[in-house]
Amino acid sequence: MKLLLPVTIFRLFLWVALTTTATSAQAVGSKLQEFEYAIISTVIKHGLSGGAGKIVIDESTTGESVDIADPEKTIEEFAKELGTTPPALREWSLINRDRYRLQQQLKLEEPYHLLANDERLQIFNSDDPEVNWQQFRARFPDAPGIIRVSRPSTDATANAALLYLEFECGAKCGSGRLINLVQTLPDQWQVTSGSLVWITAPE
């Protein structure tokens, strides 16, 4: 069961249920820019331990999986609580209305595999989540799980970025986070903070 954490700094309203089963939704675009791949690569590398094995990444961005909103706060107040900027928050909501297809442009130290939608449907084809994950382990025995990311957003200066990342590691194993970054040098990004949005827990 996926639980929203009782954090006080923001409220997260789910538009589409986050699941560990396959989805038939197709990515609609594939034109992420180079700096977006640099941001995604930075976040993935930041969260990996050494010798993580093969990295499996969903080739489609999360799209409209989540929407950030708090009607009781101004966007300036809300962005401050999240540790980001209002322009980055607005842009994140705007550009993640659609799903985009990742290309082999990530710069990671470990080998990675982009999991295509058709391949995911072949693996996660059972009504039993445990069976689905057994089939995933058989296909990718060295992979700790599946990473899914949103399209990253930046503010007007392109010096602050926001990315949503979720990690699925089993029928009752997973989490989702919002990650803040700053650009320290051209095309070089650093993670500054993260907010845990949800975590999977046994019923």
Give 46-81 pLDDT, tens digit per residue. Answer: 987 666 678 999 999 998 655 555 677 787 887 787
User: What is the domain count for the chain?
Assistant: 1
pTM for the model stands at 0.81
Q: Does any domain span residue 21? A: no
3-state secondary structure of 40: helix
For residue 135, the 8-state DSSP code is H
pLDDT digits (tens, 9 = 90+) for 94-141: 889 899 999 999 999 889 999 999 999 999 999 999 999 999 999 999
Whether residue 191 has pLDDT greater than 50: yes
Q: Does any domain span residue 26? A: no
Range of the domain at 153: 2-16+32-200
Would you state the pLDDT for residue 9?
Answer: 30
Rounded Cα distance between 170 and 173, Å, is 5
Would you state the pLDDT for residue 10?
Answer: 33
Across residues 159-164, what is the average pLDDT? Answer: 91
Q: Does any domain span residue 53? A: yes
- CA-wise closest residue to 179 among 193, 197, 198: 193
Instruction: Please name the residue that has the structure tokens 């107040």.
Output: 77
Q: Does any domain span residue 24? A: no
Side chain identity at 15, as an amino acid letter? W
Across residues 20-48, what is the average pLDDT? Answer: 76
Whether residue 154 has pLDDT greater than 70: yes
Across residues 157-172, what is the average pLDDT? Answer: 91
Across residues 173-189, what is the average pLDDT? Answer: 91
Instruction: Please name the residue that has the structure tokens 């990530």.
Output: 106
Rounded Cα distance between 163 and 181, Å, is 8
CA distances from 77 to 50, 81, 95, 153 (A): 37, 6, 21, 18
Rounded Cα distance between 80 and 164, Å, is 17
Would you state the pLDDT for residue 165?
Answer: 95
Would you state the pLDDT for residue 24?
Answer: 46
